[in-house]
Amino acid sequence: DVKVTQSSRYLVKRTGEKVFLECVQDMDHENMFWYRQDPGLGLRLIYFSYDVKMKEKGDIPEGYSVSREKKERFSLILESASTNQTSMYLCASIRHRVGGEKLFFGSGTQLSVL
């Protein structure tokens, strides 16, 4: 069974901490994405990567950075966590960025910043 795995289901951090969210996929997909989900707002794209060491900003990149050192792993970094980054974070992957291909998602990380 193909899988996208996120390292933590729940995470509680303090304001100002550096936070790493890890995502690993076992499908040899080129493209990986980080979204956040807030009630009523839909999934919003933070960053995506179309190849190792390549990254592009999504719709809401402020306060975040990413790292893709290996094809299977895509990390989201909150340099200095703030309370407005409390959210559900979803990682996703897709083999090719052509229209009509479905995304494969991880099960999400609920991050609370206190």
What is the binding site for another protein (CB under 8 A)?
Answer: 4, 9, 31, 35, 40-45, 48, 90, 94, 96-108
Q: 25 or 75: whose CB is closer to another protein? A: 25
Instruction: Give the residue from 56, 58, 53, 45 showing the smallest Cα distance to 92.
Output: 45
Of the pair 42, 69, the CB lying nearest another protein is at: 42
Cβ 89 to another protein, closest distance in Å?
13
Burial of residue 41 (number of CB atoms within 10 Å: 0-12, 13-18, 19+): exposed
Contact by Cβ (8 Å): 111, 13: yes
Q: In this complex, which beta carbon is closest to another protein, that of residue 53 or of residue 100?
A: 100
